[in-house]
Amino acid sequence: MELQVHTKDRTYPIIIERNALSKAKEYIGTDRVFLISDDGVPEKWRESLKAQFPDAVMHVIPQGEGSKCFAVYQDVLAHMLELHLSRKDTVVALGGGVVGDLAGFCAATYMRGIRYVNIPSTMLSMVDSSIGGKTAIDFQGIKNCVGAFWQPSLVIVDPEVLSTLSPRLLHEGMAEAVKMGMTHDPKLFELFEQDNYMDHLDEIIERSLKVKQGVVERDEREGGERKLLNFGHTYGHAYESYHELNRYLHGECVAMGMMTVVQEPELKARLKNVLERLELPLECECDKEEICRLVQNDKKADHGTVTIVQVNELGHGFTEEWDNAMVRKGIGL
Ligand X SMILES: NC(=O)c1ccc[n+]([C@@H]2O[C@H](COP(=O)([O-])OP(=O)(O)OC[C@H]3O[C@@H](n4cnc5c(N)ncnc54)[C@H](O)[C@@H]3O)[C@@H](O)[C@H]2O)c1
- Supply the residues annotated as catalytic: 112, 134, 176, 212, 222, 226, 230, 233, 237, 250
Q: Return the number of the residue (32 or 42) whose C-beta is nearest ligand X.
A: 42
Nearest-Å Rg of the Cα atoms of the chain is: 20
The least CB distance from residue 99 to ligand X, in Å, is 6
Q: Return the number of the residue (101 or 298) whose C-beta is nearest ligand X.
A: 101
The least CB distance from residue 309 to ligand X, in Å, is 15
The least CB distance from residue 299 to ligand X, in Å, is 14
The least CB distance from residue 66 to ligand X, in Å, is 10
Own/partner contacts of 189-196, CB < 8 Å, gap of 24 or more, are: 189/270, 189/274, 189/314, 189/315, 192/274, 192/277, 192/278, 193/270, 193/273, 193/274
Residues facing residue 322 across a β-bridge: 306
* 67 backbone φψ class: left, alpha, beta (φ>0; ψ -120 to 50): alpha
Q: Using CB under 6 A as the criterion, which residues of the chain lie in contact with ligand X when the complex forms? A: 38, 40-42, 45, 63-65, 68, 95-99, 101, 121-122, 124-125, 128-129, 132, 134, 143-144, 161, 164-165, 169
What length does the chain have? 333
What are the strands of the beta sheet with 301-302, ordered from one edge? 301-302, 305-313, 316-322
- 235's CB contacts (< 8 A; 6+ apart) are 256, 257, 260, 261, 291, 295, 330, 331
The least CB distance from residue 209 to ligand X, in Å, is 13
Q: Which of helix, strand or coil describes residue 39? A: coil
Q: Return the number of the residue (143 or 328) whose C-beta is nearest ligand X.
A: 143
Q: Are 292 and 327 in contact (CB under 8 A)?
A: yes
List the beta strands (DSSP E) in the chain: 2-6, 11-16, 33-38, 57-61, 90-95, 115-120, 134-139, 142-149, 154-157, 301-302, 305-313, 316-322
The distance in angstroms from the start CA to the end CA of the chain is 47
Q: Which of helix, strand or coil describes residue 147? A: strand
Q: Return the number of the residue (68 or 184) whose C-beta is nearest ligand X.
A: 68
The least CB distance from residue 193 to ligand X, in Å, is 24
Q: Return the number of the residue (25 or 143) whose C-beta is nearest ligand X.
A: 143
Q: Which amino acid is at 276?
A: E
Closest C-alpha among 14, 15, 10, 68 to residue 220: 10
The least CB distance from residue 129 to ligand X, in Å, is 3
Q: Return the number of the residue (170 or 292) whose C-beta is nearest ligand X.
A: 170
Q: Within a 10 A sphere around the Cβ of 186, how many other Cβ atoms?
A: 12
Q: Return the number of the residue (86 or 246) whose C-beta is nearest ligand X.
A: 246
